[in-house]
């Protein structure tokens, strides 16, 4: 089984994945860091030099390799759910957790995170805050459709969130899915 964490930039996927993996005695993988390692440059460099489409291609390829493995907690990039094949692999491999937060909170976290400039290239021509609002609005229905659980990260300690997710994982079986969800990207 593989546990996937999805959600917009700044929702806490990369911080939570190792906490959950440690408790399960599994491996945590941050797909963005893996792309950077394999490409030998930053995510922003890939966007700037090769464009977003090339980044999405590399992202889908790396995730395909990861979903062939077992016992990993994957912190996916915020846009990984834009690829429907990736979403299928995610859902076939185990429970998918959407780490949600109100838009204003994500704006606040992303503005304060100093790594934003290097690791989070612009996704549109819009101004910083407007981009978050616009892209998030488009993606929320996808995060909702692809995930098995929405985990609100607002005003929550990271250890609490890990506990909540671990409890859901323990009782989880694919049969718990009441309906086959469809997603449109």
What pairing do the DSSP bridges indicate for beta strands 27-30 and 149-152?
Answer: unpaired
- Residue 32 in contact with ligand S3P, rule: CB under 6 A: yes
DSSP annotation of 171 = T
Helix axes 52-66, 84-93, angle to 10 degrees: 20
* 3 state SS of 5: strand
Which of 2, 5, 16, 43 contacts ligand S3P by CB under 6 A? 43
Kindly list the distances between the CA atom of residue 67 and the CA atoms of 18, 72, 141, in Å, as whole numbers in the listed order: 17, 9, 23
Among the listed ranges 20-28, 76-84, 151-159, 161-169, the one in contact with ligand S3P (CB under 6 A) is 76-84
Residue closer to ligand S3P by CB (options 56, 181) is 56
What is the rounded distance in angstroms from the CA atom of residue 96 to the CA atom of residue 106? 20
Beta carbon of residue 62, minimum distance to ligand S3P (angstroms, whole number): 11
Tell me which residue of 104, 97, 105, 55 sits closest to 80, measured CA to CA. Answer: 55
DSSP annotation of 155 = T
Other Cβ atoms less than 10 A from the Cβ of 121: the count is: 16
Going residue by residue from 3 to 22, which x/- string records binding to ligand S3P, judged by CB under 6 A? ------x---xx--------
Which of 5, 16, 21, 79 contacts ligand S3P by CB under 6 A? 79
- Residue 77 in contact with ligand S3P, rule: CB under 6 A: yes
Residue closer to ligand S3P by CB (options 41, 172) is 41
Residue closer to ligand S3P by CB (options 45, 172) is 45
Binding site for ligand S3P (CB under 6 A): 9, 13-14, 32, 43, 77-79, 120-121, 123
């Amino acid at each position: 089984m593989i546990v996937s964490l999805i959600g917009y930039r700044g929702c806490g996927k990369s911080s939570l994945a190792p906490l959950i993996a440690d408790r399960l005695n599994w491996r945590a993988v941050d797909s963005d860091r893996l792309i950077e390692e394999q490409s030998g440059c930053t995510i922003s460099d890939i966007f700037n030099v090769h464009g977003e489409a090339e980044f999405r291609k590399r992202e889908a390829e790396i995730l395909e390799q990861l979903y062939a493995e077992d016992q990993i907690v994957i912190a996916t990039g915020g846009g990984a759910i834009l690829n429907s094949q990736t979403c299928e692999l995610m859902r076939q491999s185990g429970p998918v957790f959407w780490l949600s937060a109100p838009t204003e909170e994500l704006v606040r976290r992303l503005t304060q995170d100093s790594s934003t400039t290097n690791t989070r290239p612009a996704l549109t021509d819009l101004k910083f805050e407007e981009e978050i609002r616009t892209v998030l609005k488009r993606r929320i229905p996808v995060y909702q459709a692809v995930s098995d659980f929405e985990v609100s990260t607002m005003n929550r300690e990271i250890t609490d969130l890990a506990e909540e997710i671990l409890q859901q994982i323990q009782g989880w079986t694919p049969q718990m899915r009441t309906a086959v969800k469809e997603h449109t990207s």
